[in-house]
Structure 1
Amino acid sequence: MPVPLPTDSARSNLFARFAERVTAWSGSTLVFCMALGTVLTWALTGPMFHYSETWQLVINTGTTIVTFLMVFLIQRAQNKDSLVLHLKLNELLAAHKGASNRLINAQDFSENEIHLLHRYFDVLAEMARKDHDLGRTHSVEEAEDNHVAKKQAHHKPR
């Protein structure tokens, strides 16, 4: 299912702006200190409330609600960051002459395709190790060309 492209109206979306601000705010030192202060205040009031079940329920309920809501905001931010990272990598792949274009949008590959490519790159890493030159690079296409050339040379009559 294709992801809809962002538009000017999406950028002005009230929730998008809210989520960005809350995510940035929640990661600040001030918010950490406020949360720490809340927990310390709660802990210090324990003797006053005789460490009752209600006293325990207050912190449990509060932290559960905050955690539940923050999970969704953090996931939204991570999804956006991940998409931006993929776009940047896709741009680099598309711009680099020697890079394999088949890896553009690799995040959309199936797990089997990803494992297949991972095994293939393991083979390329092994080739580089055997060359005793880990700095030497092989693109997928170069490796395929090398493989075809070796196969042809191996099957030539002597």
Structure 2
Amino acid sequence: MPTDVTPHLSLFDRFATQAAKFVSRAWFFTACVLLVLLWAPSILLFGNVDTWQLIINTVTTIVTFLLVALLQNTQTRSDAAIQDKLNAMAAAMSTLMSHTADIHDRAELHQAVKELRAAVGLEDEESA
């Protein structure tokens, strides 16, 4: 639930958030495209094409690997926050529905309340 969420992030989480903000900008993508465009003709400057290809492949693979890990961290935290909000909304809705069902004595509304309350936290049981 949202009240269980702490506003304090670890150093890694703060770093991952800043990295995600940094790499998600249009200028960062443009800089990457420019880097590739500058890199492509630079092969002509080096005699050993295999070595140059190995260097650029290694560097881009390492950067990609690290960025995936950082972005996955921020995505996981975002998903958890959204799920907490949905759970809070479902809990509040079930309380309101329960109150309405008591006033109007509706059995189908009581059943909907039971199903809604059972769905709160379901993501923890069904996730891999």
- TM-score w.r.t. the length of structure 1 is 0.60
Residue 110 of structure 1 and its aligned partner are, at CA, apart by 3.7
Residue 7 of structure 1 and its aligned partner are, at CA, apart by 3.9
Residue 88 of structure 1 and its aligned partner are, at CA, apart by 1.2
Aligned to 2:72: 75
| Count of aligned pairs between the two proteins | 105
Asked whether the 8 Å contact 2:13–2:74 carries over to 1, the reply is no
Determine which of 44, 57, 69 is the counterpart of 1:60: 57
Aligned to 2:108: none
Aligned to 1:92: 89
Aligned to 1:106: 122
Matched residue SS, 1:82: helix
**Separation in 2, partners of 1:86, 1:102:** 15
**Separation in 1, partners of 2:50, 2:40:** 13
Determine which of 44, 49, 67 is the counterpart of 1:47: 44
Tell me how large the CA RMSD over aligned residues is. Answer: 1.9
Determine which of 9, 33, 54 is the counterpart of 1:36: 33
Higher mean Cα deviation, 96-105 or 34-43?
96-105
Residue 31 of structure 1 and its aligned partner are, at CA, apart by 0.9
1:130-151 residue CA offsets vs partner (Å, 9 max, x unmatched): xxxxxxxxxxxxxxxxxxxxxx
Residue 81 of structure 1 and its aligned partner are, at CA, apart by 1.0
Report the structure, 1 or 2, having the larger helix content. Answer: 2
**Separation in 2, partners of 1:33, 1:77:** 22
Q: Which has the higher contact order (CA 8 A, sep 6+)?
A: 2
Larger Rg: 1 or 2?
Answer: 1
Q: Which runs of 5+ in 2 are unaligned?
A: 98-111
Q: Which runs of 5+ in 1 are unaligned?
A: 112-158
Matched, 1:20 2:17: yes
Residue 51 of structure 1 and its aligned partner are, at CA, apart by 6.3
Residue 50 of structure 1 and its aligned partner are, at CA, apart by 4.5
Q: What is the aligned-residue identity percentage? A: 34
